[in-house]
Amino acid sequence: MTTATPVLRPASTEASTGQRLGDVLMRARDWLDGRGRPAWIVAMILGFIAFWPLGLALLTYMIWSKRMFGCSKRSYSTPSAPTSTGNTAFDAYRAETLKRLEDEHREFMDFLAKLREAKDKSEFDQFMDKRTAKADA
């Protein structure tokens, strides 16, 4: 069985320059996001002062990405446990239901894993049967 060996070529200067520019722009975006909407507005105003197309590009980007009118603080954290509603009966029902759903999800994922294993085993057995049939012939 032969395998193809990849050919390694040096990265072109255009691609690496574009990648570096993209990295710089992403770091600038993250930095501005960390400081909120006022930082974006200041950057846009400075862009208009320095070179008006740059300010216009920033304004367009802010509107397109919903940084101007959408959420000013973006958080990409995972949702935490639900807080108490004050109704103990409802909170107990919700906790029980969530636990039941998690258990059902875990059981279903285990079932899918077993199903995949069975399918893989049957495909492998079929392959081995064909191989032995070819060897006998």
For residues 37 and 67, is the Cβ–Cβ distance under 8 A?
A: yes
Q: Decide: pTM greater than 0.95.
A: no
DSSP 65-115: TTTTTS-SS---PPP-PPPP-S-HHHHHHHHHHHHHHHHHHHHHHHHHHHH
Residue 64 forms part of a structural domain: yes
Residue 7 forms part of a structural domain: no
Q: Could you list the residue range(s) of the whole structural domain that residue 124 is in?
A: 88-136
Q: pLDDT tens digits, residue range 1-39? A: 555 555 555 555 555 677 788 888 888 888 888 888 888
Residue 75 forms part of a structural domain: no
| Average pLDDT, integer, range 57-76 | 70
Residue 1 forms part of a structural domain: no
Residue 104 forms part of a structural domain: yes
How many domains does the structure of the chain reveal?
Answer: 2
Residues 6+ apart with CB under 8 A from 93: none
Residue 33 forms part of a structural domain: yes
Residue 11 forms part of a structural domain: no
For residues 53 and 65, is the Cβ–Cβ distance under 8 A?
A: no
Token pair listed for 78: 């995972």
Q: pLDDT tens digits, residue range 71-94? A: 545 555 555 667 888 889 999 999
Whose tokens are 């975006």? That residue is: 29
CA distance 24 to 121: 49
Residue 83 forms part of a structural domain: no
Q: Please tell me the predicted confidence (pLDDT) of residue 72.
A: 46
